[in-house]
Structure 1
Amino acid sequence: MAEEEVILEATGLTKEFKGFVAVKNVDLRVRRHTIHALIGPNGAGKTTCFNLLTHFLSPTSGRIHFNGRDITGSSPAAIARMGLVRSFQISAVFPHLSVRENVRVALQRKLRNSFYFWRSERVLDRLDERALELVEAVGLTPFAELPAVELPYGRKRALEIATTLALDPEMMLLDEPMAGLGQEDIQRIASLIRTVSRNRTVLMVEHNMSVVADLSNAITVLARGEVLAEGPYETVSKNPLVVEAYVGTGHG
């Protein structure tokens, strides 16, 4: 694998909580313009791993490189500005603003100037135009003027992806994007993830194996905080250690 193909690399990533090792010596390499899934039974360390990559948690040891740059110790906000954005970290935090207004607020964040709230209508109109493009991109045009709190659950996920896209990330981290969704919403969000991944990289934690099989170019399997296997779905799903890890926990 050529170095320039790797956008995110973690080496020896370890996190201990008062003697309990949640993530142990994890090496992870995510190639540019791929969808990479992080899977494993409950308690495998997937969410802890995500929190380490975006520095919501600091690693006990190990290093993280993004675009060849050592980002270990950087703040979550600084990492987001570099282009590595965790979705649902930038959630629709204004339930009583409309879908369009939520996306516009995210666009204002991208400008890193809170005083845009006081700028002329002309400037805000320009942001509105881009906001409506993003609303359309995630299939929410019919809901554009609806308060976010009134959106159906699956559509809220689409709005969260739109607010993340407003920050123009080079790489998106999606934490269980299908959690709690019905079949129709799962298909819609899976299609949306496939679309947004065309010109960016996606790393996702996901429990839904049919989604993982359908979307992922590569999969890393964690168990008890360690990497159990890595590779394409066809290979990983037949790995005896992976089968045992899932069967042994009663988690499919």
Structure 2
Amino acid sequence: MTASLNDAAFGGGQSSPGASGGQDSRVVLSARGLRRDFGGFVAVNNVDLDVHHAKVHALIGPNGAGKTTVFNLLTKFLQPTSGTITLLDQDITKTDPAKVARMGLVRSFQISAVFPHLTILDNVRVALQRPGRLSTQFWLPMGSLNRLNERAMELIEAVGLQDARNHLAADLSYGRKRVLEIATTLALDPQVLLLDEPMAGMGHEDVHIVSDIIREVARDRAILMVEHNLKVVADLCDKVTVLQRGEILTSGDYRTVSQDERVRVAYMGTEHE
């Protein structure tokens, strides 16, 4: 686990402001009885999860708790051994990953996935090709992408990269590459956005910038994120689900889960192993 997992991380008893106030909104992504076996090893067992529209939901837990496996199951990179997954009231348990993405469930990964030798503008224009129905028209000249410029600039401005739109992605700092990745992910117009450790490897300033972007993005879509930085979780997330050994330990707002003695033991035990 990261250095943020210490007594101070649990000691504040903060109440998460989250992306939006008020009562819980509609459930857009749901799992029931989710289980995944690898031979004789149970990686995920009996996981129930509800992700709400316009909310930020964190999935946290010690290393090896099953967080990435849950992400892989939800996005259909892995097929569950048992259980059901519902997206926007449709059963996607046996649906392939590409169709799930087209339905509005989009995921980012721990490692930044941008085209380093394209400009920021071209990275976003490439990402816009599928919703713009240009992805199968590869014989068209590059100029055909000009029709995507307006939407591309909207996305670039939304993440604060407009001043660097003509810079190569390779020249960006690590944190700004992750910001560009969020822009390219938003180009797919997701209803549910899964972020896998979006703050990993970032300095304090970049963490603050990306947190603000995530908060803004969550105004009109659901976000489920795996994150080790508990200060980020406390400040940003409406709900937190804690995994341990593939099972849900507890779930609730940050104040509730941070005061749960089982959560403290799980994290402190990991630090001393």
TM-score by length of 1: 0.94
In 2, are the aligned partners of 1:220 and 1:229 still within 8 Å (CA)? Answer: yes
SS, match of residue 219 in structure 2: helix
Q: How far apart, in 2, do the equivalents of 1:3 and 1:240 lie?
A: 26
Change (3 A) 1:3 1:39: closer
Does 2:70 align with 1:34? no
When the two structures are aligned, how many residues end up with a matched partner? 250
Q: How far apart, in 1, do the equivalents of 2:136 and 2:102 lie?
A: 18
TM-score by length of 2: 0.87
Does 2:214 align with 1:193? yes
Task: Give 5+ residue unaligned stretches, structure 2.
Answer: 1-22
Structure with more relative contact order (C-alpha pairs < 8 Å, separation 6 or more): 2
Match of 1:158 among 166, 173, 179: 179
- Once the two structures are superposed, residues 124-154 of structure 1 have per-residue CA deviations (whole angstroms, 9 ceiling, x without a partner) of 2220121111111111112111111121100
Q: How far apart, in 2, do the equivalents of 1:44 and 1:241 lie?
A: 14
Q: Please report how far the alpha carbon of residue 78 of structure 1 lies from its aligned counterpart in structure 2 after TM superposition.
A: 0.5
Task: Give 5+ residue unaligned stretches, structure 1.
Answer: none
Match of 2:161 among 111, 131, 140: 140
Q: Please report how far the alpha carbon of residue 232 of structure 1 lies from its aligned counterpart in structure 2 after TM superposition.
A: 0.4
Q: Please report how far the alpha carbon of residue 120 of structure 1 lies from its aligned counterpart in structure 2 after TM superposition.
A: 6.6
Q: Please report how far the alpha carbon of residue 249 of structure 1 lies from its aligned counterpart in structure 2 after TM superposition.
A: 1.2
In the TM superposition, what are the counterparts of 1:217-236 in structure 2 within 5 Å? 217-236=238-257
Does 2:160 align with 1:131? no
* Matching residue's letter, 2:237: S
Q: How far apart, in 1, do the equivalents of 2:112 and 2:58 lie?
A: 21
In 2, are the aligned partners of 1:84 and 1:171 still within 8 Å (CA)? Answer: yes
Q: Please report how far the alpha carbon of residue 243 of structure 1 lies from its aligned counterpart in structure 2 after TM superposition.
A: 1.1
In the TM superposition, what are the counterparts of 1:30-179 in structure 2 within 5 Å? 30-88=51-109, 92-119=113-140, 123-179=144-200
SS, match of residue 111 in structure 1: coil
Q: How far apart, in 2, do the equivalents of 1:138 and 1:68 lie?
A: 30
In 2, are the aligned partners of 1:88 and 1:160 still within 8 Å (CA)? Answer: no
* Matching residue's letter, 1:7: V
SS, match of residue 114 in structure 1: coil
Q: How far apart, in 2, do the equivalents of 1:129 and 1:43 lie?
A: 43
Partner of 1:202: 223
In 2, are the aligned partners of 1:237 and 1:243 still within 8 Å (CA)? Answer: yes
Change (3 A) 1:250 1:160: same
Change (3 A) 1:148 1:121: closer
Change (3 A) 1:122 1:96: closer
Aligned-residue RMSD, C-alpha: 2.0
Q: How far apart, in 1, do the equivalents of 2:128 and 2:58 lie?
A: 28
Q: Please report how far the alpha carbon of residue 63 of structure 1 lies from its aligned counterpart in structure 2 after TM superposition.
A: 0.6
Q: How far apart, in 2, do the equivalents of 1:72 and 1:14 lie?
A: 12
Q: How far apart, in 2, do the equivalents of 1:4 and 1:204 lie?
A: 18
Q: Please report how far the alpha carbon of residue 123 of structure 1 lies from its aligned counterpart in structure 2 after TM superposition.
A: 4.7
Change (3 A) 1:5 1:120: same
Change (3 A) 1:243 1:178: same
* Matching residue's letter, 1:124: L
Indicate the larger mover: 79-88 or 92-101: 92-101
* Matching residue's letter, 2:187: A
In 2, are the aligned partners of 1:63 and 1:70 still within 8 Å (CA)? Answer: yes
SS, match of residue 85 in structure 1: strand
